[in-house]
Amino acid sequence: MDLSKRIQGLTGGGSDGWDVFYKARRMVADGTDVIELTIGEHDIRTHQSILDAMHRSASGGHTGYAMVPGTDALRDAVAERLTTRTGVPTTRDNVLITPGGQSALFAAHSAVCDEGDVALFCDPYYATYPGTLRGVGAIPRAVPCHPENAFEPSYADITDNCAGAKSLLVNTPNNPTGVVYSKDTVEGIARACRDNDMWCISDEVYDTQIWDGTHISPRTLDGMAERTLVIGSMSKSHAMTGSRVGWVVGPKEVITHLVTLATHTTYGVPGYIQDAATFALGEGTALEQDVGAPFERRRALGKAVIAKQNAVSLVPSSGAMYMMLDIRNTGLSGEDFADKLLDTHHIAVMPGESFGSSAAGHVRVAMTVEDAAFETALQSIVDFAKEIEP
């Protein structure tokens, strides 16, 4: 029996640059001690107080179907959070609760892209982006971003590639680079969207992890609230990756349609998960800071190691849980560097090429092991780069 072209074409074919990741996983399964700095997941688990709230809710009976758009309490909490953090008045009518940011990305693009529409995304990019865009029937088109500009998309980068495009997907703080887009960059994004009548899908799942500078949401700029869909999630801010709870925030009319989409796809998010998320947001910024603090510490440790040598340089990251290293001096591709590093030092990092062709010659290091081990691993990466420098 034939399967749909859409489902078969989801990955786009070809090598996806994840070979090193799977090789590391096989080594671990075979008993090798590998330091894995690959996936963006905390080395701590969800805080006990959030689990207690989840338990209270489930034992209290909130295990039936929950409201499809999200519970009023969680939608209100998300709305209040965005109003407070960005100054853009937001109410529950602007919020759809989704099973994680990933599902929110899919929903947002479903709302704005028709079959065959061009949907832009910035390269380097979070690995699922092109497949998500294909999944809604859109044609993904990369906006190449440049290392000289810390991989931030300029107005020209966007407009050079936006002919006929319906939407632009941006991500700040950025995965894989850890860069927090500057005011100039976000203004350029907004101007490009307004000038070319594009929707802006703004992936802000790392918005609580800012180690320098300020996070600016494109939704806050002139004329943008009506054309921006913000993607949020409890995964990174509250170490709730496994709970699958996130949101889309946007104009009321879009959310009304997305509630209909949710009715026909996910049928909402479990009530006890939503209650746990409501509790977590109610705890304010202290809990978010606790969750983010290890990454801020490790980034400082990592920066100190990098500052002492010239073999690799650091993309000026200022947020999220990643450091992106420029290893072009070694003459190796990111893939070869990561592969040899894994073989010789049993340290697994992600080749830049896994995140698109713009980040070739780079590797992404996730700051997801405890401080001392992270510092030692980074020192080994730097020493390895020095050894192989031509």
Binding-site member from 36, 152, 157, 203 for ligand PMP (CB under 6 A): 203
How many Å separate Cα 313 from the centre of its chain?
A: 23
**End-to-end CA distance of the chain, in Å?**
54
Angle at which helices 100-112 and 252-264 cross, to 10°: 110
Q: Which of 17, 101, 319, 351 binds ligand PMP (CB under 6 A)?
A: 101
Return the residues of window 124-163 that contact ligand PMP according to CB under 6 A: 126
Nearest to 72 by CA among 52, 95, 50: 95
Stretch near ligand PMP under the rule CB under 6 A, chosen from 97-105, 209-217, 308-316, 374-382: 97-105
Report the alpha-carbon distance of residue 226 to residue 234 in Å, rounded: 24
Q: Choose, by CB under 6 A, the member of 46, 172, 202, 235 that binds ligand PMP.
A: 235
Instruction: Please name the residue ranges forming H helices in 166-270.
Output: 183-195, 234-237, 252-264
Contact 363, 382 (CB under 8 A): no
Residues 295, 209 contacting (CB under 8 angstroms): yes
Q: Which stretch binds ligand PMP (CB under 6 A): 100-108, 160-168, 266-274, 304-312?
A: 100-108
316 CB burial (10 A radius; 0-12, 13-18, 19+): middle
Stretch that binds ligand PMP, among 50-58, 94-102, 309-317, 358-366 (CB under 6 A): 94-102
Residue of the chain from 57, 94, 171, 185 that contacts ligand PMP (CB under 6 A): 171
Where does 150-249 have alpha helices with state H?
155-159, 183-195, 234-237
E strands present in 147-210: 165-171, 199-203
Binding of ligand PMP by 70 (CB under 6 A): no
Burial of 264 (0-12, 13-18, 19+ CB in 10 A): exposed
Does the protein bind ligand PMP through residue 208 (CB under 6 A)?
no
Task: Assess 46 for contact with ligand PMP (CB under 6 A).
Answer: no
Q: How far is the CB of 340 from ligand PMP (least distance, A)?
A: 26
Which residue lies nearer to ligand PMP by CB, 102 or 274?
102
Instruction: CB nearer to ligand PMP: give 205 or 338.
Output: 205
State in angstroms the smallest separation of the CB of 288 from ligand PMP. Answer: 15
Is residue 102 part of the contact set for ligand PMP (CB under 6 A)?
Answer: yes
d(CA 175, CA 22) in angstroms, rounded, equals: 20
Query: Which of 20, 37, 40, 96 contacts ligand PMP by CB under 6 A?
Result: 40
For the bound state, the minimum distance from the C-beta of residue 173 to ligand PMP, rounded and expressed in Å, comes to 9
Name which position in 100, 147, 188, 294 contacts ligand PMP (CB under 6 A). 100
Q: How far is the CB of 41 from ligand PMP (least distance, A)?
A: 8
Instruction: CB nearer to ligand PMP: give 231 or 332.
Output: 231
Binding residue for ligand PMP, selected from 86, 177, 217, 241, defined by CB under 6 A: 241
Within residues 274-303, the interface with ligand PMP by CB under 6 A covers none
Q: Name the β-bridge partners of 118.
A: 139, 165
Long-range contacts of 290-296 (CB under 8 A, 24+ apart): 290/47, 291/42, 291/44, 291/47, 291/208, 291/237, 291/238, 291/239, 292/208, 292/209, 292/237, 294/42, 294/43, 294/44, 294/367, 294/370, 294/371, 295/209, 295/211, 295/320, 295/321, 295/367, 296/209, 296/211
Using CB under 6 A, which of 37, 189, 192, 205 touches ligand PMP? 205
Site string (334-363) toward ligand PMP, x via CB under 6 A: ------------------------------
Q: How many residues bind ligand PMP (CB under 6 A)?
A: 13
Residue found by looking up tokens 């953090």 in the block: 85
Greatest Cα-to-Cα distance within the chain, rounded to the nearest angstrom:
65
- Quick one: 241 or 330, whose CB is closer to ligand PMP? 241
Given a contact cutoff of 8 angstroms between Cβ atoms, the answer to whether 374 and 367 are in contact is: yes
Helix (H, G, I), strand (E, B) or coil at 37: strand
237 counts as binding ligand PMP under rule CB under 6 A:
no
Considering the complex, what minimum distance in angstroms separates the CB of residue 234 from ligand PMP?
7
Q: Residues in the site for ligand PMP, rule: CB under 6 A?
A: 40, 100-102, 126, 171, 175, 203, 205, 233, 235, 241, 246
